Structure 1
Amino acid sequence: MVSSIGVKALLLAALVAVPFITSSYTAYQLGLYILFGIVGQGIVLCWGKGGFLPMGQALFFGIGAYISGTVLKSDPSWGVVLLAVLLSVLVPGMIAGIIGVLVFGRKIGSGLYFSLITLALSLLGYQLANSQVWLTGGFNGMTGIKGLPGIDSFGSLYFFIIGALVFSTCFLAYLIRTPFGQNLEAVRENEERLQFLGVNTSRIKAAAFAISGGVAGLAGAFFAPHQGIVTPQVVGFILSAELVIWTGVGGRFGLAGPVIGAVLIGFLASGLRDYFSFWEVVVALVFVIIVLRLPGGIAGLAAAYAKKIGMSLDTFRSSPRDEQILSSPTNSQPRLEFKNVSLQIGPVVILDDLSFEIVDRGIHCLIGPNGAGKTSALNVLTGKLAHNSGKITWCGQPLEGMQPFRMSGLGIGRKLQVPSIFPELTIRQNIDIALWVNRLKFGNVLSMRPYRWHKALKDRLERAFPFLIDAEVLAGKLSVGQRQMLDFSMTVLAAPDLILLDEPCAGLSKAETETMISAIADLAKSSKATFIIVEHDMQVVELLSDHVLVMHQGRLLAQGSLEQIRANPEVRRVYAGGSK
């Protein structure tokens, strides 16, 4: 197999050789396009890895350029220049981080709002750069910017730009490999599931946006001495849109993509501009065709071809799991209480003065006809829905106003009704995220150590569900039944005290149902966890339940042993169950 490191070294050598085998003007142009590609790498972090599209990256690029240009107007020493570069990274990064916290903190998702807000901020930045003449030079731009001390902007500066590209590529590549990067990709795949696994996704997205802003500022710091002038167009919407186009054409899933896109489109536009009046139309058509036909961009096509000929561009290797982690202490006495809980959305009453209490460990099955409010009860318990009145407590802790990601910290784990996994991540990566619940702290979120963590329960789950052993298979390629089993495994690996399972046997064959029942029963016997299972299949209820609660029209109709429930005339009137 061709060495990935060798290929990358060859590409780097080709970039370094450009000034020696072409003209200085070609190298000068290439340096500019590489700077735009560096900004695009920040877009890859947000759009390709995190699933949210920033439409105003030129704002942070321009802020970095203005900071750098201001300093370079006064013939500074190298010490001051290095401080200016640092400020060009930190200031845009901090601004982006604050924007991210404000936007993403409002709710799960926020992708469209985020894109529109960043677009509006880019337009605002353009207006401010035009109007604040004393600071930016206004419409005519900031002029009189000198080059780096002793560095020719048309010659040696090119190698500094290559150095900036190597730094940003290595930094972002490492970041993407860390647990932070894996959680960021999980946000893209299934943000709600990640929240129920205890991850504050708003912080992850805000941090990724802050980093992308800092990367854009780094490119801006070299743009000022490269061009010798910084104009309002540098922070405007047009450049922001072009950066997205270049990233999309080159490939938004890898760090090489935006550099390839910026260089190819840049030289294409440069060549067409003098000979074809409608050259922008050609660029637009290229973007549309590639987005429609090649979602992975040019880099994605190249990676697919490399794989066919036996060349691997991925140097990451999975770490052996050789560091045992222990389960957290279990609550000595479970106590879940619903007291007069009501939920109404518009004219529809979903929960109507629901009250019940669970004080014993074991398996409690929550049953009832469709529309009884079973899943909604779990939704208000875990913060997915806010109830209108009443009180919910777990071990004395009120749960009102709690966001879903805080539930794991209270020892509450949930499996949703539909298999909820991270389809474009491997089985191992899905399991990793579950193992990190309540254990991944700030000190190791950027470390490779968490990939070595192991838990004895994982081995038991692999014996119950053998497909889990094929760790490098993408979760999205699993059958529905296997997805249910993977989802269940992720839930219990987090070691919650209260395990909420919403129809864990839905979509399973008879054999798969028996396997799932056996796994749940085995775990219930060996752990001190309390289970609440929403289930329609009475065979599952019969085999698993220690205690049954029946809901009807948002209220608790009856509770007791399965025999007591079957003998209850009210239950017999409103509920009938079946089995596979």
Structure 2
Amino acid sequence: MASSRAVETALQVATAAILLSLPLWAGDYSANQIGLLLLYGMATQSVALCWGNSGFLPLGQSLFFGLGAYVSAFVLRSAGAAGGEWQIILLPLAIAVPAALAYAIGFIVFARRIDSGPFFSLITLALCMLGFLLANQWSSVTGGFNGLTDIPDLPMTDRYGNLYYVIAAAAVVVTALITWLNRRPIGTLWAAVSENEDRLQFFGLATHKLKAAAFGLSGAIAGLGGALYAPHEGLVGPQAVGVALSAQFVIWAAVGGKRSPLGAQLGAVVIGLLAATWRDLFTYWEVLVALIFIGVVRLFPEGLAGAAAALARMAGLRVANPIPEKRIDAHDIATIDLRPAQSTLLSFRKVEVSQGGVNILNGLDLEVGAGGVNCFIGPNGAGKTSTFNAMTGRLPVRSGEIHFRGAEISSSQAWQVARLGVGRKFQIPSVFAQLSVNENLQIALWANRIRPREMLAAAPLHWNSLQRVRTLEKFGFLESNMAVRTGDLSQGMRQMLEFAMVAITEPRLLLLDEPCAGLSAHETRHMMDAITSTVSELDASAIVIEHDMSALEKIADNVVVLHQGRSLSVGSLAQIKMSEDVKAVYSGGRK
């Protein structure tokens, strides 16, 4: 079977050949028209990069397109007025300024909370409206309603001639760049952010920085389109930063395919050509464009490129999915540097947590020593999962202190706690359902290991570690399902996959919330064995929330009984069973 990656590359090469030869067989007029649509296509690709790849939708992308156009116009006009061309060296500012602004906006918005997507969309829309207002009103700088006119050509180009080749080359490079990034670790991480940002944070990755980087790159791409728009059109007006243009970028991305850089580019070109043709034939041509948009979104949620990819899969094309080698040597093993363990690994000191006026943790005092398996038990609502949430930044601590390995973590975010050596498995498996099993394991292996520059390299795609090999030996089905979409696995398989991912991060403390939920008796025994062996291999500690007493008997070195947000009893399982307080709580005789 052919690889879908090879087909994608072949399509891009064919498209590049068509675009670069277009003036030879279509004429300069058609090339000029297509050139404008390619510029819009770059901005559309920048929207798709954020929306399809990283999971957040910018509704004001014309702000960066127009900003690039205005900066380019300023530079070209000043170079022409001065009678020299040294100012041309400032043209990269038309890309750098939108990129810097987009990164700053993304960093500020995304750093506040992980569910800021809707707010982000509205903020970008509001900024676009503000940009349009400034372009209209700041006449001394922007030219007001009439815009900046008489913009000279780029040096050594003619806007009705060879400028098209510059635009076509830029479009080809942008498409190739986004495709290349999608095949690197950064592309996998962007897809993971889109799929399950919460899980990624618990692997120690600062997702707000990943999203800000994606938005910054999208600003640069949109700025590049705008920078070439100014010499192509010879004028730049407020419509270049208008909401209407931003809406078109979103529509073209949805129709072409928000997950495909080539699809997004072709969406802008094809819909643009249809609109230009229908404009001269039908009075209500906008209605036809709207019907196409509605039809594609309803029938093909991933756009035309997504529909084509689905057909390719049905035809037998396999998705290329590089799998790390089983061989291990010094160059393949990824290591993690952690501080030496301490006698008291984790401590809660009079911790109080409340939500909606309800006290969840009531002055919780608790210490967990280094090494072994600790089990948290208690009735529903006792505060077991809330204890995990409080120490991993998912519930705000109202008062008290939480220390892990000597570091105060009461106000830390999930990714910061994970970087200290805490790994968490959730009660409901939290995996990247749309990614393959192999990609899920790769992301876990990169946790606390991959450096920013390595996100652009191919080497991390082939990383391996001793713990990864050990974990795959425990769960043999993973090896034979590497290319399978994780969402297609059974509930039990996803439970074991998530535990495997946590183990591969090599934490000092494993937080396991009902790891055997939904497992058969055989699978439960297998999971219990995996937990104890992993804790021993890593010389780590584990805190397990579990209701199955037979499972506790197998793994528990120490048991903590929680009740109404407090520690009720601590000791061995035998001691807990003899506790009158515990008997009263479980028999309903104590409140």
TM-score bracket for the superposition, by shorter chain length? over 0.9
Asked if structure 2 preserves the Cα contact closer than 8 Å seen for 1:334 and 1:530, the reply is: no
Query: 281, 300, 305: which is aligned to 1:294?
Result: 300
How far residue 326 of structure 1 moved from its aligned partner, in angstroms, is 3.3
Partner Cα distance (1:290, 1:311) in 2? 23
Query: 457, 480, 490: which is aligned to 2:467?
Result: 457
Asked if structure 1 preserves the Cα contact closer than 8 Å seen for 2:204 and 2:417, the reply is: yes
1:234 is aligned to 2:240: yes
CA 1:237–1:360 in structure 2 vs 1: closer, same or farther (change >3 Å)? Answer: same
**Letter paired with 1:472:** A
Task: Report the equivalent of 1:371.
Answer: 381
Structure 1: runs of 5+ lacking an equivalent:
none
Query: 257, 266, 290: which is aligned to 2:263?
Result: 257
Q: Which string of whole-angstrom CA distances, capped at 9 and with x for unpartnered residues, describes residues 349-402 of structure 1?
A: 111111111124100000001111100011111111111111111122111211
Q: Which string of whole-angstrom CA distances, capped at 9 and with x for unpartnered residues, describes residues 221-254 of structure 1?
A: 1101111111100001000000000010000011
CA 1:355–1:432 in structure 2 vs 1: closer, same or farther (change >3 Å)? Answer: same
Partner Cα distance (1:545, 1:317) in 2? 39
Note the 1:181-330 alignment, pairs <5 A. 181-309=187-315, 317-318=322-323, 320=325, 323-329=332-338
Asked if structure 1 preserves the Cα contact closer than 8 Å seen for 2:322 and 2:461, the reply is: no
The structure 1 segments of at least 4 consecutive aligned residues displaced by more than 6 Å after TM superposition are none
Asked if structure 1 preserves the Cα contact closer than 8 Å seen for 2:275 and 2:289, the reply is: yes
Query: 45, 70, 74: which is aligned to 1:70?
Result: 74
Partner Cα distance (1:256, 1:397) in 2? 48
Task: Report the equivalent of 1:383.
Answer: 393
How far residue 28 of structure 1 moved from its aligned partner, in angstroms, is 1.1
How far residue 82 of structure 1 moved from its aligned partner, in angstroms, is 4.9
1:552 is aligned to 2:556: no
Shifted more, 295-304 versus 119-128: the winner is 295-304
How far residue 303 of structure 1 moved from its aligned partner, in angstroms, is 2.4
**Letter paired with 1:182:** T
SS in 1 for 2:230: helix
Shifted more, 173-182 versus 559-568: the winner is 173-182
Task: Report the equivalent of 1:483.
Answer: 494
Asked if structure 1 preserves the Cα contact closer than 8 Å seen for 2:508 and 2:538, the reply is: no
Partner Cα distance (1:114, 1:123) in 2? 14
Task: Report the equivalent of 1:333.
Answer: 342
Task: Report the equivalent of 2:428.
Answer: 418
Shifted more, 31-40 versus 271-280: the winner is 271-280
SS in 1 for 2:525: helix
**Letter paired with 1:440:** I
1:13 is aligned to 2:17: yes
Asked if structure 2 preserves the Cα contact closer than 8 Å seen for 1:331 and 1:497, the reply is: no
Q: Which string of whole-angstrom CA distances, capped at 9 and with x for unpartnered residues, describes residues 398-446 of structure 1?
A: 1121111001221111111210001111111111111111111123122
Give me the TM-score of the superposition, normalised by structure 1. 0.96
SS in 1 for 2:374: strand
Asked if structure 2 preserves the Cα contact closer than 8 Å seen for 1:33 and 1:262, the reply is: yes
Q: Which string of whole-angstrom CA distances, capped at 9 and with x for unpartnered residues, describes residues 67-93 of structure 1?
A: 111222233766643531x11110000
How far residue 576 of structure 1 moved from its aligned partner, in angstroms, is 6.8
Partner Cα distance (1:28, 1:162) in 2? 11
Partner Cα distance (1:210, 1:433) in 2? 23
1:526 is aligned to 2:533: no
Asked if structure 2 preserves the Cα contact closer than 8 Å seen for 1:330 and 1:528, the reply is: no
Task: Report the equivalent of 1:356.
Answer: 366
How far residue 182 of structure 1 moved from its aligned partner, in angstroms, is 1.3
SS in 2 for 1:295: coil
Partner Cα distance (2:321, 2:487) in 1? 21
Partner Cα distance (1:315, 1:369) in 2? 47
RMSD of the TM alignment (CA)? 1.8
Task: Report the equivalent of 1:392.
Answer: 402
Task: Report the equivalent of 2:581.
Answer: 570
Asked if structure 2 preserves the Cα contact closer than 8 Å seen for 1:334 and 1:360, the reply is: yes
Give me the TM-score of the superposition, normalised by structure 2. 0.94
How far residue 27 of structure 1 moved from its aligned partner, in angstroms, is 1.3
Task: Report the equivalent of 2:123.
Answer: 117
**Letter paired with 2:41:** G
SS in 2 for 1:229: coil
SS in 2 for 1:454: coil
Q: Which string of whole-angstrom CA distances, capped at 9 and with x for unpartnered residues, describes residues 512-563 of structure 1?
A: 1111111112122333101100111111111110000001111111110101
Task: Report the equivalent of 1:517.
Answer: 528
CA 1:515–1:49 in structure 2 vs 1: closer, same or farther (change >3 Å)? Answer: same
**Letter paired with 1:232:** P
Task: Report the equivalent of 1:504.
Answer: 515
How far residue 304 of structure 1 moved from its aligned partner, in angstroms, is 2.7
Q: Percent identity?
A: 44
Structure 2: runs of 5+ lacking an equivalent:
none
**Letter paired with 1:502:** D
Shifted more, 453-462 versus 31-40: the winner is 453-462
Asked if structure 2 preserves the Cα contact closer than 8 Å seen for 1:502 and 1:533, the reply is: yes
**Letter paired with 1:460:** R
**Letter paired with 1:196:** F
